[in-house]
Chain A
Amino acid sequence: MALVLLSFVILLLSAFLALCLARNPRRAQDAGAYGAVAASLAGLIPSVKVLFSGVSETLALPWPVPLGSFTLVLDPLSAFFLVPVFILTGLSAVYGVDYLAHYTGKKPLGLAWAAFNVLTASMALVFTAGNAVLFMLGWELMAASSFLLVLFEHEKAQARRAAFIYITAGGAGALLLLAAFSLLGAGSPVMDFSSFVFPAGRAASAVFLLALCGFGLKAGFIPLHVWLPEAHPAAPSHVSAVMSGIMIKTGVYGIIRTLSLAGPCPEWWGWTLLLLGAASCLLGALFALAQHELKRVLAYSSIENVGIILLALGLGVIGAANRAYPLAALAFAGALLHVFNHSLFKGLLFMGAGSVLQGAGTAELEALGGLSKRMPGTAMLFLAGAAAACALPPFNGFAGEFLVYLGAFRSVSSTGSIALAGVIAGLSLACAGALAAAAFSRAGGAAFLGEPRTERAAKARECGPLMLFSMRALAALCLLAGLFSPFLLLPLARAVGSGFGPAAGLEAAEAAAVPLIYVSAGGLLLLALIALAWAKRRAFLGGRKPAEGVTWDCGYAAPTPRMQYGASSFSQPLTDFFQPVLRKLGQYPVISEYFPGKASFSTEAQAVFYNSFYYPAAARLRDLAYRFSWIQHGRLQIYIMYIVVTLMGLLLWKL
């Protein structure tokens, strides 16, 4: 615990130092990055220790604030979330050094580092806080620091808009959480989580719904996701990695804690989670397929993955409510494992996108292409991350989803509503998986493969060594976590145990152990076969030098990059098919003559939920406010009339 505290201290001090050294960008970078890395190392040790020992640690210091107490609790569940926090922030900090060097002299780097380190500290605080006030402190600091980072390039109108949507969603979420905490801690003078009493009956459902919406606004599942595809692309890429990789998991953590606090949950909670999760993973993947910007694709993919996690939680709750405990345990374990895995591969992917952004100056898919030649390292690492994101073996994305599938399949053969839940879960996962594969092959293909579509892409340069180092490290972790997933079982079981009861942990470990070992074996076999096939290929060539030529374009000898299949053409059959959901805007040329002239074509993926629900609702509200604006009419006489009338009314009513 002392080390966790130390890591807080290091983070805050280095943030302060980075601010003080803001005049000298190099020094500020050093202060921020060294601080973040040191804090990560300091924080990883106790987290891993707790995960393997399974013994929770608590630290309580006096904190004279009403309702508050400085209570930090590091139990296996917290530790399970803390590990990716520290891994990813540490590596992101390393990445950030090279990434931000690009902005030297143009942007306040000291502030950026300070915000980054405060973001890290606040996330760690959220995962360890044992008191509602302390939790909210971490929660809101997290929102504020990431808000500043989203505004890093505030001269772009899009960034400001993103920041507005983001901070509003955050503010609304925080208020809902306050309400949930108030209901939970109504009877206690100090709002320690340990003193929370889950109310009974309708109040319990109110707490659940408040927590679901409050945490959901951070977790970003559909339909509470609107800020996510705006804010993640706007932030600097190493921050996007952290935001997408772990910050949104704070919402998941909150939901898990709520479920854990609630004890046995009614089945409909599970159904709510399951259906929301299913909607998120399907729509998230589908929207990802329609985006034109690499970071947006990744943001929607995060929505998909949060959906998967939520879906798994829902399956678990339904299972637990029907006393199908091994099934529930598998689903919970799958959810947690996916939390961990997603943080690794999504971090990697955002870093890759950042490298593209920096190397080619844009992340618009239609302006990229051919980067595999120009940035081979980034290309390979990004595509590895993409494979992991599509849950393809032998990468780590598969393991978590596999456990969820396993849970779903176990439930399919049982009776009653669980079977239906299992079918829905499995089917959603399968569909989302297919869509995600389409989305990532499209994004990866359009960005890295083929010929460059623009001058800028043609002149792209490989990113700096530190950036590559971070990505390599993450890619290695993705592969290792995929190949050796059985080794993750012990910490996973501990985390499940601390979240859903020790029995659940054991059951999860028991049910998952054998299949995961087989999956590992399969993965190793696959790697061996790939190596073999590769070696054989060389053997078949037998030293002959392959010939080179132009791409075979059915006899056309001078293909140009413009003739390639672009990202939007790649996804067009699917996006057309799902147009009722996607509602993409587009202009298509109508060819009516025999010799058509120049024509142009454009499509635009719109933020469906924001444009068709949130924005109109906000506009309605503003319209309503304007309707009442005559109250502040300007005429003194009317103002005095208000006073008289109110007074008369009060007298008549109350006397």
Chain B
Amino acid sequence: MHTFAELIIVLIILLDLALAVTGSLSSCIRLVAVQGVVAGLLPLMAGAGAPHTRALLFAAVIVTLKGAVFPWLLMRARDKSGARKDVEPLISYPASILLCIGAFIASSWMGSRLPLPETQVAWIVPASLATIFTGFLLITTRSKAITQVLGYLVIENGIYIFGLALFVEQPMMVELAILLDVFVAVFVMGIAIFHISREFDHIDTAELSELSDWRRGEYGK
């Protein structure tokens, strides 16, 4: 089973890289969904022996949410917004991928540096960190509002995997509450994107920088 889990880890890392280079918005949404589903399945593979019913139930909820509900919500937001179909990165794709690889190297280093307990699955901590970095990469170097939501989801995926790595047993109620939060967050963000697209011409966040205290050119005289 662990080999299988390690394969999944590799898959997740590859998905990170793919996210860094994909230009099409809809592919991005799909990639994030796939990553969510894969991450959701991970606990079933990583544990020793047959998974608990609880874990099964949980995995089912996650897969439904991340695999079906979120992509649907985001796709709808994308369609309504009538935005252009690519992610409009602020830096070039090669730069993105370089940053992503750099993040992966940094994650490996940090993974070894962080004072973590031994894990059973190799690479799981670096992978989770790399995923979190990729999420940040999406948020900070892409200009559209939707990609920022995607980034948030990728970070969430990374944290989820990280949690698995640490074997922290969250009580059911907490787990559910967290999931609910994430769900509502995406929902609210979706609504916000809808409003943004209505108020502004498109969902480029460059438009969303009117609130600023920058006194450009008012100093040094």
Point out residues on A near B: beta carbons under 8 Å: 623-624, 626-627, 629-630, 632-638, 640-641, 644, 651, 655
**Closest CB of chain A to B103's CB: distance in Å?**
11
| Docked-complex contact A640 and B219, CB < 8 angstroms | no
Q: What is the interface of chain B mostly: helix, strand, loop, or mixed?
A: loop
CB pair B140 A644 closer than 8 Å: yes
Q: Are A637 and B113 in contact (CB under 8 A)?
A: no
Other-chain contact of A634, B140, B211, B219 (Cβ < 8 Å): B211
Task: Tell me if B110 counts as interface (CB < 8 A to partner A).
Answer: yes
Residues of chain A with a CB closer than 8 A to B209's CB:
633-636
**Is B53 in contact with chain A by the CB < 8 A criterion?**
no
Question: Once the chains bind, are A637 and B215 in contact (CB under 8 Å)?
Answer: no
Q: Show 27 residue pairs from A and B whose CB-CB distance is below 8 angstroms, ordered by the A residue.
A: A623-B219, A623-B221, A626-B218, A626-B219, A630-B216, A632-B212, A634-B209, A634-B211, A634-B212, A634-B214, A635-B206, A635-B209, A636-B148, A636-B205, A637-B90, A637-B139, A637-B141, A637-B143, A637-B205, A638-B140, A640-B139, A640-B140, A641-B140, A644-B140, A651-B110, A655-B113, A655-B114
The 4 closest A-B pairs by CB, nearest first: A634-B212, A634-B209, A626-B219, A632-B213
What is the bound-complex CA distance between A638 and B205, given in angstroms?
12
Interface size on B, residues (CB 8 A): 26
Question: Contacts of B98 on A, CB cut-off 8 Å?
Answer: none
Interface string of B114-152 (1 = CB under 8 A from A): 110000000000000000000010011101000010000
**What are the residues of chain B within 8 A of A651 when measuring CB–CB?**
110
Q: Please, how many angstroms separate the alpha-carbon atoms of A655 and B216 in the complex? A: 38
Q: How far is the CB of A81 from chain B (nearest CB, A)?
A: 46
Contacts known (A623-B220, A627-B219); A635 close to B136, Cβ less than 8 A:
no
CA distance A647 to B139 in the complex (A): 16
Cα distance, A624 to B215, chains bound together (Å): 11
Determine the residue in chain A with the shortest Cβ distance to B208. Answer: A636
Docked CA distance A633–B90 (Å) = 16
A638, B110: Cα distance in complex, Å: 23
CB of B210 within 8 A of chain A? yes
Known pairs A635-B206, A637-B205. 8 more at Cβ < 8 A? Answer: A626-B219, A633-B212, A634-B212, A634-B214, A635-B205, A636-B209, A637-B139, A655-B113
Complex: A633 Cα to B213 Cα, angstroms: 7
Residues of chain B within 8 A of A638, CB atoms compared: 140
The residue of chain B having its C-beta at the shortest distance from the C-beta of A651 within the complex is B110
Residues of chain B with a CB closer than 8 A to A655's CB: 113-115
A2 to B99, CA, bound (A): 77
Known contacts: A640-B139, A651-B110, A655-B113. The answer to whether A633 contacts B205 by CB under 8 A is: no
Given contacts A640-B140, A644-B136, contact A629 B215 (CB under 8 A): yes
Quote the shortest CB–CB distance from B68 to chain A (angstroms). 28
Chain B residues whose C-beta falls within 8 Å of the C-beta of A635 in the assembled complex: 205-206, 209
Q: Which of B113, B141, B211, B215 contacts A626 (CB 8 A)?
A: B215
**Chain B residues whose C-beta falls within 8 Å of the C-beta of A633 in the assembled complex:** 209, 212, 214
Q: Chain B residue with minimal CB distance to A643?
A: B136
Q: How long is the Cα–Cα vector from A630 to B214 in the complex, in angstroms?
A: 5
A637–B113 CA distance with the chains assembled, in angstroms = 28
Chain B 157-175 interface 0/1 with A at a Cβ cutoff of 8 Å (1 = within): 0000000000000000000
A655 vs B111: C-alpha distance when bound (angstroms): 12
1/0 per residue, CB under 8 A from A, across B188-208: the answer is 000000000000000001101
